[in-house]
Structures are given as C-alpha cells and as structure tokens.
Amino acid sequence: MSISRVRRPWRFAAVALIAGTVLLSSGCGHGDKSPSWQGGGDSSAAAGGGTGSGNDAASPSPSPTLSTVAVVSPAADATNVVAAIEVKYTSEDPENTSVAVTDAGGNEVKGTLDKDSKVWRPDKALAYGTKYTVTVNGTASEGKGGSTTSTFTTMAKPSKIIRVTSFLGDGQVVGVGMPLIIKFSRAIPASYRDDVERRMTVTATPSQEGSWGWISPTEVHYRPKVFWKANSKVFTDVRLAGVPLGNGYYGKSDLTVDTKIGRSFVMTVSNKTKQMTVKQDGKVIKTIPVSLGKKSTPSSSGTMVVMEKARHTVFDTTDTDPVNGYKTPIDFAQRITWSGQFIHAAPWSEGKQGHVNVSHGCVNVSEAMGAWLFSRTMMGDPITVSGTEEKLKQGNGWTDFNVSYSAWKKLSYL
C-alpha cells in the first residue's frame, strides 16, 4: 500500500539529547621572548634576530572572522506559530553553538538541542498566544563565533482539538501479551500518522524492541517483537499537545502512562490432543482437558489474549438467533475475541473435555479448572489455539501477536 506523506517544516526527527558546552579559545605562545607581530615591529630585527629599538609600537592582530549563525525557522517576527514548533538554525561550528529560547518574562524554556541536525525542540508544547525570543550563540572557537536573536509568537489556543487516551492506566499490571493501546477522539489522516508516531515513545526496562501499528484511523497499538519480558516496566510518553493532526485539528494534551508487566503466564491449546498446556515463567504448571467448538461453530486458531473476565455471567444469543439461540449462566468467563469466544467453565461438557468438541466456539474446561485458571490469569495473558477448522480473523480481539513481527511493522507509518 502506497501512502502519500505531506512534508511539513515542523516535522520532528528523533531527539538526540546533547548537553551544550562552551569552549573558549586560548592563544598559544611560541616560547620566543621577541615575537614578530603581524603589521608591526622591526621587520629587519624580526628576520635577522636583532633587537628592536623599543620605539616601534606593536599593533594588535585583527579580530578573527566570525562564523554566521542565524535562525532559519520560525521566521523573524513570525506570528500564529504552532505551539509544538521546533527551532532550526545555521552555524559553521554547530558543536560550539548554543541555543536558548525565553518567554516574555525572560524565563528560559526547557528543551533539547540536536547539534547534528541544528534543531532545538521544546520538552513540551509552548504556551498559546505567547511571544518567545530565540538566542543563538556561536562561541568563539578556532576563530569562529557569532550571535543572533529572533522573536516569534505562538498561535491562539485552537478550538478544534483531538483528545488522546490510553486504554491502560498508571500502575496497571498486565500479561506479557498485552498491547499498549492509544485512541484518538477523531480520525488521524494517513499523511499525519508518521508525525504522530514520532511523538509517541515507549521505554521498556529491560530494553525490548517493538513497533507501533495502526489498527484504525482512531486507534494505534504498540507491541514488542516477542511477548514482553516478565516483570518489565513500560513507560509510554505521548507528546501531541499543540501538534497539527490534520484538517485544522490539533492535539489537546500530552499523555504519560506507567505500566507493569506481570509474571509470564502462557496458555496453548491443541485441537489434536484436546488439552491446554499452562506455562508460568517458562515452566509447565498444569495440563487441562478442553472441549473446543464443534464443526458447525469452530473455535479460532491463532494467538489471542484475555481481554476481560467475569466470575458469573449469562451468555444470551437469542437476540441474534431467535430460533437456535440460547441463554445460559456461565462461571469463570474470560473473553478472548470480540465475536464471543471465551475460556469458561462448562460442567455440562466435562465428560467430553479432552475427547470431543461440543462448544459453540469457546474453550470449555471443567468447573474446577475454570476456577483454577480464573484465579491466576490477568488481562493480557496470551492463549494460542491450533489445529481448528477456522483461522483467527485479524482484529477479532487484541490480535497483535497473531501476526509475525515483520508483518506487524508494516502497520507503522514510519
């Protein structure tokens, strides 16, 4: 699929955190007590090593040529500048060039300086309707230097905004198959999605490779290359306040979420053996007989995760199928697809479990094993079913791990 991307001057690249240091040039002596000064002194004495009369005044050397530093954007005295702006500048000696941005009160704005790209970026969106001053200093080093200032004013607070929310909250503990889910209150145009991804960072401890993938124009997920490492800490940082998001809309605010990954609890189900194998932290702790969906209502083969749990509920399909529908009380239900497949206790099929498939697509276990599983699982615990007549449809649940990592990365706009 070919996506046309609109290049905008405020596009954000990866941030390099570089501490600006100031280097002062120093003159080095030649060890000669009678130096020859350019444009002054007794030239014959200098050439022949004789001594001067002392009456010739030495003139100072001319000032070194200073490098040119300039603010490229925002333009000088620009108005209506987006709050998520980045400052671009030029310098012949970027390593020894510093950039400071101050508000009308002279308070310096916190930001990071990318000297390789010659870009300064604020740590968060600037205030709306505020005048700022940019000062670029090319400190004298090896004969180069210079200084310039420029001002700009940010736009008024926009009326068209897009809210950004996280499905997970701070401190929430989830399973190793749980994706990070970010939702938008309005569709993000395809040409803006790469910019959105650049403004969303995920930091896992310990470090783990991962990628964003767009599920829809209003929803984007993040998953690691393989299941999360057990007991990881995951920090999500979304910086979209003041960022243009298309059609005159702007991000309303920034968002941060601290998430904890729990122990590794992985369930695998084989239709061939009619058994579920449960591993915790890599070790088999239980083998459970199951009954899957009969041929007319097969269970889906693929990798799913536990999305919600209900100790007691009622399955009611009479509204969609008045003739063959049913209404049945269920214990220890754990949803794994949006279409209605669950892991749950089914005392009526205990004689069939481990031998024959009789369910409507769910993973049936005994009442005792249903209670045992229910007491140990958490949202995001993965379950992989294999060998059934039907493949899991992508998007029928949180199916992020149902595809290869290479296929998942194709859902990113970077």
- 278, 389: one domain: yes
CATH label of the domain that carries residue 126: 2.60.40.3780
- 270, 389: one domain: yes
**What percent of the chain stands above pLDDT 70?**
82
- Give the strand order in the sheet containing 249-251: 161-162, 249-251, 244-246
CATH label of the domain that carries residue 228: 2.60.40.3710
pLDDT band at residue 142 under the 50/70/90 scheme: low
The answer to whether the beta carbons of residues 18 and 112 sit under 8 Å apart is yes
pLDDT of residue 327: 87
Structural domain includes residue 36: no
- 81, 132: one domain: yes
Mean pLDDT of 374-391: 98
The answer to whether the beta carbons of residues 212 and 412 sit under 8 Å apart is yes
- 352, 249: one domain: no
Structural domain includes residue 200: yes
pLDDT of residue 145: 58
**Measured distance CA(16)–CA(22) in Å, rounded:** 18
Asked if the model's pLDDT at residue 400 lies above 60, the reply is yes
Structural domain includes residue 286: yes
pLDDT of residue 61: 55
CB count within 10 Å of CB 317 equals 14
The DSSP call for residue 76 is T
| Residues 31-64: tens digit of each pLDDT | 443 333 333 334 333 334 444 444 444 555 555 5
Asked if the model's pLDDT at residue 124 lies above 70, the reply is yes
pLDDT of residue 177: 98
| Residues 333-363: tens digit of each pLDDT | 999 999 999 999 999 999 999 999 999 999 9
* Per annotation, catalytic residue among 30, 344, 355, 360: 344
Structural domain includes residue 331: yes
- 332, 231: one domain: no
Total number of domains in the chain: 3
Mean pLDDT of 318-347: 91
* Per annotation, catalytic residue among 28, 221, 355, 362: 362
- 93, 127: one domain: yes
Structural domain includes residue 165: yes
CATH label of the domain that carries residue 277: 2.40.440.10
Q: Does 28 qualify as catalytic in the annotation?
A: no
Phi first, then psi, for residue 389 (nearest 5°) are -75, -10
Domain that holds residue 141: 70-154
- 356, 338: one domain: yes
Place of tokens 């949180």: 398
- 250, 356: one domain: no
Mean pLDDT of 309-331: 88
Structural domain includes residue 38: no
Instruction: Out of 232, 261, 290, pick the residue that ends a domain.
Output: 261
pLDDT of residue 59: 54
> Distance between the two ends of the chain, CA-based, in angstroms?
13
Structural domain includes residue 274: yes
Instruction: Out of 126, 154, 182, pick the residue that ends a domain.
Output: 154
- 388, 269: one domain: yes
- 335, 383: one domain: yes
Peptide bond into 217 cis (omega under 30): no
| Residues 88-117: tens digit of each pLDDT | 999 988 889 999 999 999 999 999 999 999
- 181, 148: one domain: no
pLDDT band at residue 254 under the 50/70/90 scheme: very high
pLDDT of residue 47: 37
Of the listed ranges 50-54, 184-188, 239-243, 260-264, the one predicted with least confidence = 50-54
pLDDT of residue 49: 41
The answer to whether the beta carbons of residues 261 and 231 sit under 8 Å apart is yes
The reported pTM is 0.79
Structural domain includes residue 402: no
Mean pLDDT of 287-311: 97
- Take residue 388 and report the two structure tokens written for it: 């059934």
- 97, 130: one domain: yes
Q: Does 362 qualify as catalytic in the annotation?
A: yes
Instruction: Out of 229, 261, 293, pick the residue that ends a domain.
Output: 261
